[in-house]
Every structure is written in structure tokens, then in C-alpha cells.
Structure 1
């Protein structure tokens, strides 16, 4: 699922990372060395330690650094900054919004929704809180509530963050034209290189999941021209190269991607591309990242359900998928549970979840392929998109 800053989610694109800025909800897409947490803000807090909003802003920057660098230790720093802010002014809407953003970053979406609602009660005009609420409700599978939050955010502060969320809501309904229009509005509104790269990347993602590799590659290239340090666009180029059969080029690109940002999604994509190229996948770094995220309090059963189903133990995949679905009954979790059950030899149990994952009109090729495969295993008529390559399944997911 998409990572909006918004990202999910990103995704964390498989998994989702959420972050939010109070001044701008667009991402800060650069390596940690290029985009450190604002030193000016830290200096200000040394002079004015009672600035509770400054502490909340610092916390959101730490949450964003966790996403930008792939280093989950920043979540602990964010938690500390928010604890200081809460001691100074516990009910302030920006402080509570920061707490909601941290909960979402750790994939605690029910808590994120509760905190965002508390922030909205404190200040009904805080657009940022509605953004976090929309993200959390999407992950909880409550798409109607998510749409209402997006609509309110659009009314309060139309701009890149609101348009991006509106685009994703439209895409989940199967409205690709609407999703594209909202992203085009976001593109018109974008003024910084970071904003521009962010929107162009998601225009590329929309094209990719429509099956237009050439257009997707063009948008990724445009994103990198706007902001060369924007790693998701580089990953997009690797993705299109892999799906287009240019495996050597894709692997070279993935080497650069994971050197910059070793997120689990990118490591899985790299591993699958190596397997497709006839090489051996090395999951050592992926497993190390898993331990780091767990130690930082990030719950990511979704990624491990998908990974175990395709590359490990189907029984473990079912365990992770059930845990994820119990917390977050969204389309991606339903698809993950369906596929895990199928891979564990239980297609009859899998089918209701596969139907749920495809019930809204969302035209992602991976859930469609999974449902078709499950139906075929049960002897039911179905159609599979022949252009989809299941050996590169990670590349079809929104992270």
C-alpha cells in the first residue's frame, strides 16, 4: 500500500510508513547526510526548552528521518521528544497529532486513529490531524471514514498532501482517472523540488499499476530530475527495468537503492529480481532489518506474511497474516491472508479474503492474480492477466 506523507506507507510501499509535517505534509526525500534533523530547531529548544510545539515538530522530523533513512531508532527519539512536549502541554493538538503520526509510523493504526481524533477534538481546523486520521482509517479498512477525513482535509488545506490522499482514495475505489486528476492537481500545486519529485513518483506508480511501463519510467526519471536524491523514484526505475526484463540494469539500480535506503520492501524486490536473473537471493540484510524494526516497536506482520508466503514457511505466513488482519482489516492485509492460506494448502479458506481484497474495484494486479489463482485451484472459472509475472510479486505491491 502507498506510503504517503502522507505514506504509507510507505510503503513503506509492502508495508506502510506514515509521516506528517505541520508546515508541509510533503516528504523530505534525501539521505540522512543531506537532510539532517533541523539543527536550528534543536538550537531553539536549547534556548527555549518550554516550547512544546517545537518539541512536537522535532518529533515529527524524527519520524520522517526514520522513513528517509530506514533507521527505526529515530522512532525512539521521536517518542522522547513527544514525552517532553506532552509534559509541557499534554492536550495540545499538535502534540497529539505528533503522537498519532508516531503511532502510525510504528503501524499502530488503531492508536493512531484514536490520537488523531483527540487532536481533532482539540482543534477541528488542524488539517494535519485529518491527514493522519485518513491514513490510519485506510489501514484499518474503514474506507468511508478515511474518505470523510480526506474530504475535510481538502476543505481545510487543499494542497499536495490532501490531493495525494484523495488520489489514493480514488484509486482504491478503482477510479484511476480520478486518481490521476488529483495527482495532476498536486503536481500543479507542488513548488519545492521535494514536493515535485514526490508527486511525479506517484504518477509513475499509477502508470506502473496500469501496466504502462514506459510512462512509469518517464515519471520516475522526471522525479529524479526534480530531486536527484529521491530514492523511491530510483526504486521505481529499478522496478520498471525488472518488469521489462532488463534484469542486469535492474540489479545495478537496486544496489544503489538499498545502499541509500535498505527498507524491507526494496530488499525483497532486489532478492526477487536476483532469483529471476538466476542468481541466489541473500536475505541476510532483510532479516537484520526485521530485528531492528521489531526492536524499535514497529509491528510489520504484513511484510513477513508476504515474504514467508513467497519465500519461506507458509505456516508462518498464515500466522503473520492473521495477526495483521486482526489489527488492520484493509485490502492488502486481506490479500496477504488469502495468499498465505492458499500457499498453506487451504484455498477454500483463502477465497473469502481474496474476494474482500478485490471488492472495492481497486485494480492492483497482485490481488487480482492471487484471487484468480485461488479460484482456479478450486475449479472455478477465472481470468488471469497474462502480463503479470508472479515471480516478481513484490514489485506489484504498493509499499
Structure 2
């Protein structure tokens, strides 16, 4: 219980350099005290590994917890996260089936929503999150599911709906920092930039996560405020270093950042290593984009295709992923597919990035209209 409490405190405060090692020590002490059948500690270690983005370790601990107590339903959400991080969406779906056979309720519906979204089932995901929020037993739990519902609405390009979800989440739980950052995202898309900047600053002050610093930096850059953007980019590097002291794998975040704002060759090296260790869809997208930025469109196209291949579990409804694929296709001389994928990206969420959304629209305009089909010979 102590280890799990340290883990949750670390998640909510982002003070992971201190709190995650404390969580690990407590959980390992629990295993030493009761080495057999201690599914609680094993599941706690799986949750800690997922929080650190160490999905191979999360999978090992999660499988050990399942073996110790096969009917303990709280193990299966950890397995779903681990399988997803490893890019094994079929296994994640099987774990969800096992979870729903053992338990029902808001937590299960919320986990189901994530799996449905990854499989391209957007309406099912949104319905599951609505059920989870309606069935929550505390304001904080309801706020957590509303934040996820806001994120899904945002990813569909529904700015106003996303903002309403994020605002309600913060009203219910003022410490819901992900929802505050979500407000920044939605407000920027609505053109309310002063409010957006304020929302991001509040989220970063109370929960300083590298992703929030990256988003705020890109918002500043889109507004032409290069110096303010550099401050946030420097902050991102500092936050990643601090998180790494707590065992958090920040290579995906750093790779994404370096590809767009730093050294693309460094991004490729980081993300290749990450792909070898845990080949999830997010890593495939980031590696493909880094390869493009480094000038290797041929290999980039292979990874971008993995990230958007619906048949094999790719996040086909992700506007940023489709934007990356389209730009890589354009660089490879594939103007037709590039045009279609840019159109799809902007149809899904035309506001997906204050910095790269306008670039996507400009690229689509540069490709012109779809040429008419060639006439068949008479």
C-alpha cells in the first residue's frame, strides 16, 4: 500500500525523481516480506514500470502477478498498458476480454475505451468513457474519466466539446493537471491564446511534465515568440533529466523534440534504440518522422506506415500520425497518397497542432487538386 501511494503521489505531482524510487523500494520490501503469492506487490511493480514507460518490465511484472492470482482483475489494466506499449494490440485485446469477464464498472469501461480507440473504434471509445464518468464513485475518479473523454474529443477535432470536458474535470478535481493542459490545447485551437498560455502555465507549475513544456513551447513558437519557446524547450530537457533520475524512460519525448527542434540525427539514434526495446505505435511514428527529418524518406515511410496501418493496430485516426505519413510520402514523390492523407489528417482534427496544423494546410495547398482520372482510349 505504501509503494502504491508513493506511485500515485509521484504521478500527480511529477516529483518522480524522489517518489518513484521510494515506491520501488517499498514494493520490493513487500516482496521480500512475502515472496510467494504477493500479487499486490507484483501488480504495483507493473504499474510503476508502466509509469516509467518501461513496458518490457511492466509485462514481466504483470504476467507474474497474473500467475500469482489469475482472478485478480486489477492486474489486467497493467497488462493492457504493457502490451500496448510493446505494440501487441491483439494481446491487449485479449487482456481486455479477460478483464471484462472478471469485473465490470467505471475502471473497466475506462480501460476498454483506450483499447477501442487504438483499434479505430471511436464511437465505442467515447461511449465507454461516458459510462465510466457516469459510474464514478468519487469526484476525482469522475474527473479522470472526463479528462480522457476530453482528450478523445480533442483528437476528433471537437474543440468546444473537448474544452467542456476539460473544464468540468478541473471543476470536479482542481488537481487534474492533465485536464488543465487539455484546456490549453483546446483554447489555443479556439484562438483564445492568452487563456491557453495561462492554462499551460498552471499545469506546468503544479505538474511539470516534459510533454506540457513541449506543447507550450510549440504554442509560443507558433505565435512568433521564439525566445519564450526556447525557454520551454530548455525546460523540457531539464525535466527529462529529472525524470530519468526516477527511472522514467524519456527517449520518446526527447526523440520527438529533437526531430523537430534540435538534432534529427540524435533523434534517430534514440528512437532506433527505443524501437528495439519496445516497438509500440507511438515509437514507430516518432522514428519515421525523425528519419524523414534526417533525410531518409525511404526508411521513414516504412515506420510511418506501421504507425498508421489499421490492420496491424496502428492509430489510423491520429491526425499527427497521418500528417507525418503524408509529408514523408510527399518527400518520396508519392503526391497522390500524400494529398489523401493530408486531407484525412485535417478532416480528423484540423487543429491538431498550432505549429504543424498550418504547415499541413500549406502542404495540402501546395499539392493542388486531385488530377482528373485519365480517359480510357476509345
Name the TM-score, length of structure 2 as normaliser.
0.86
What pairs up with 1:388-399 in 2 under 5 angstroms? 388=351, 392=355
Q: Name the CA distance, whole Å, in 1 between partners of 2:98 and 2:77.
A: 9
Correspondence for 2:26? 81
Change (3 A) 1:136 1:393: farther
Tell whether the 8 Å contact from 2:300 to 2:328 is kept in structure 1 after alignment: yes
Determine if the alignment matches structure 1 residue 67 to structure 2 residue 11: yes
Does residue 130 (structure 1) correspond to residue 76 (structure 2)? The answer is: yes
Q: Which residue of 2 aligns with 1:354?
A: 304
Q: Output one character per residue of 1:247-283: Cα deviation in whole Å (capped at 9) or x when no partner.
A: 2221122111111111000011111111112212112
Give the equivalent residue in structure 1 for 2:59: 113
Corresponding residue of 1:241: 187
C-alpha change, 1:388 and 1:342, in structure 2 (3 Å) is: farther
8 A contact 1:269–1:392 mirrored in 2: no
- 1:121 is displaced (CA, Å) by 0.8
Aligned to 2:283: 333
The farther-off stretch of 384-393 and 253-262 is: 384-393
- Runs of 4+ residues deviating >6 angstroms: none
Counterpart selection for 2:261 from 276, 288, 311: 311
Instruction: Return the alpha-carbon distance in structure 2 between the equivalents of residues 65 and 59 of structure 1.
Output: 10
Cα pair 1:200 1:223 within 8 Å, conserved: yes
Residue of 141, 151, 174 corresponding to 1:205? 151
Would the aligned equivalents of 2:157 and 2:352 in 1 still touch at CA under 8 Å? no
Which residue of structure 1 lines up, in the alignment, with residue 124 of structure 2? Answer: 178
How far residue 228 of structure 1 moved from its aligned partner, in angstroms, is 2.2
Q: Distance in 2 between matches of 1:390 and 1:203?
A: 19
Mapping of 1:96-111 within 5 angstroms? Answer: 96-111=42-57
Deviation string, structure 1 residues 312-350 (Cα, Å, up to 9, x no partner): 000011011112211221111100000000000111110
Larger Rg: 2
* Paired residues of 1:305 and 1:318 also in contact (CA < 8 A): yes
Is the CA contact 2:320–2:352 (under 8 Å) kept in the aligned structure 1?
A: no
Q: How far is 1:243 from its partner?
A: 2.1
In the comparison of the two structures, how many residue pairs are matched?
A: 338
Q: How much has 1:111 moved relative to structure 2?
A: 1.4
Greater shift, 305-314 or 358-367, is seen at: 358-367
Match of 2:238 among 288, 295, 305: 288
Higher helix proportion:
2
Give 1:202 deviation, angstroms. Answer: 1.1
Counterparts in 2 of 1:18-29, with a 5 A limit? none
Cα separation, 1, equivalents of 2:352 and 2:113: 26
1:161 to 82, 95, 107: 107
Paired residue for 1:374, among 328, 347, 350? 328
Q: CA deviation at 1:311?
A: 0.7
User: SS of 2:355's equivalent?
Assistant: helix
Provide the secondary structure at the position in 2 that maps to 1:177. Answer: helix
- Per-residue CA deviation, residues 127-164 of structure 1 (Å, 9 max, x unaligned), is 11111111100100011111111121122221222211
Report if the CA contact (8 A) 1:213-1:244 is conserved. Answer: yes
Name the structure, 1 or 2, with higher relative contact order (CA <8 Å, separation 6+): 1
What root-mean-square deviation, in Å, do the aligned CA atoms of Structure 1 and Structure 2 show?
Answer: 1.5
Counterpart for residue 361 of structure 2: none
Q: Mind listing any 5+ residue stretches in structure 2 that lack a counterpart?
A: 358-378
Partner residue, 2:370 = none
